[in-house]
Amino acid sequence: MVPIPRAMRRMTPLAAALAAASPWAGAHDTPPPGHEGGVVIITGAQPTSLPTRLPTTIEGLTAAEIADSINATDSEDALKYLPSLLVRKRYAGDYNHAVLSTRASGTGNSARSMVYADGVLLSNLLGNGAGFTPRWGLVTPEEIERVDVLYGPFSAAYPGNSVGAVVDYVTRMPKAFEAHAKVGLFTQPVDLYGDHATRSGWQSSASVGSRSGGLAWWLNASHLDSDGQPLVFATRALSATPAQPGDVRVSGAFAGKDLKNADALLLGSSAQYRTRQDHLKAKLSYDFTPTLRAAYTFGGWRNDAQGHAASYLRDAGGAVVDNTRSGGITQAIDVDGRHYVLTAADFPRSGEQLEHQMHALSIKRHTHEVFDWELAASSYRYARDLARAYAPADAAQADAGRITDQQGTGWNTLALRIVWRPAGEGGEHVVDAGLQQDSFRLRQQVWSTDDWQAGAPASAASAFCGDTRLRSAYAQDTWAFAPRWKAVLGLRAESWRAWNGLTASGSHRFDHPARSETHASPKAALAYELSADWVVKASTGRALRMPTVSELYQGGFDNSGVLRNNDPDLKPEDSWTTELSTEGDVGRHRLRATLFHEGTRNALYAQPNAAGTVTTVQNVGRIRTLGIELAAQARDLPLKGVDLSSNVTYADSRIQRNDGFPASVGHWQPRVPRWRATLLATWRPDDRWATSLGIRHSGRQYGTLDGSDPNGHAYRGVSPYLVADLRVRYRLSRQWTAAIGIDNLNNDRYWNFHPYPQRSYSAELSFDL
Q: What pLDDT was estimated at residue 704?
A: 95
Q: Is the pLDDT of residue 66 over 80?
A: yes
Span 248-305, pLDDT tens digits = 999 999 999 999 999 999 999 999 999 999 999 999 999 999 999 999 999 999 999 9
Residue predicted with more confidence, 37 or 119: 119
Q: What is the value of pTM for the model shown?
A: 0.91
What average pLDDT does this structure show over 16-38? Answer: 40
With residue 232 as reference, give the H or E element that holds it. strand 232-237
Query: According to the model, what pLDDT value does residue 368 have?
Result: 79
Q: Please tell me the predicted confidence (pLDDT) of residue 17.
A: 28
> How do 114-117 and 165-171 pair as beta strands?
parallel
Q: What are the structural domain ranges in the chain?
A: 6-768
Report d(CA 54, CA 52) in Å as an integer: 7
CATH topology of domain 6-768: Maltoporin; Chain A (2.40.170)
- Using 50, 70 and 90 to split pLDDT, how confident is the model at 32? low
Tens-digit pLDDT profile for residues 298-334 = 999 999 999 999 999 999 999 999 887 665 678 899 9
More confident of the two residues 565 and 166 = 166
The strand pairing partners of 528, in sequence order, are: 485, 536
Where does the pLDDT of residue 757 fall: very low under 50, low under 70, confident under 90, or very high at 90 and above?
very high
Main-chain phi, psi angles of 551, to 5 degrees:
-60, -35
Identify the pLDDT of residue 746.
96
Please give the share of the chain, as a percent, with pLDDT higher than 70: 91
The three-state secondary structure class of 67 is helix
Which of 12-26, 451-465, 598-612, 661-675 bottoms out in mean pLDDT, i.e. has the lowest? 12-26
State residue 26's pLDDT score: 30
3-state percent helix, strand, coil for the chain, nearest multiple of 5? 5, 55, 35
| Predicted local confidence at residue 40, as pLDDT | 61
pLDDT of 50 over the 80 cut = no
The three-point CA angle 83-88-90 to 5° equals 135
Is 90 exceeded by the pLDDT of residue 34? no
In sequence order, what DSSP letters do the residues of 338-400 get, joined into one string? EEEEEEGGGS--EEEEEEEEEEEEEEEE--SSSEEEEEEEEEEEEEEEEEEEE---SGGGTT-
Low-confidence winner among 45-59, 164-178, 204-218, 313-327 (lowest mean pLDDT): 45-59
- Residue 450's Cβ-side half-sphere holds a number of Cα atoms within 13 Å equal to 3
Per-residue confidence band for 344, with pLDDT thresholds at 50, 70 and 90: confident
Position 266 scores a pLDDT of: 95
Check residue 525 and give its pLDDT.
94
Exposed / middle / buried, residue 613 (Cβ in 10 Å: 0-12, 13-18, 19+): exposed
Average pLDDT taken over every residue of the chain:
89
Least confident segment among 52-66, 343-357, 514-528? 52-66
Q: How far is CA 495 from CA 415, 498, 540, in A?
A: 15, 10, 22
For 548-606, write each residue's pLDDT tens digit: 999 999 888 877 777 776 788 899 999 999 999 999 998 889 999 999 999 999 999 99
pLDDT score at 164? 95
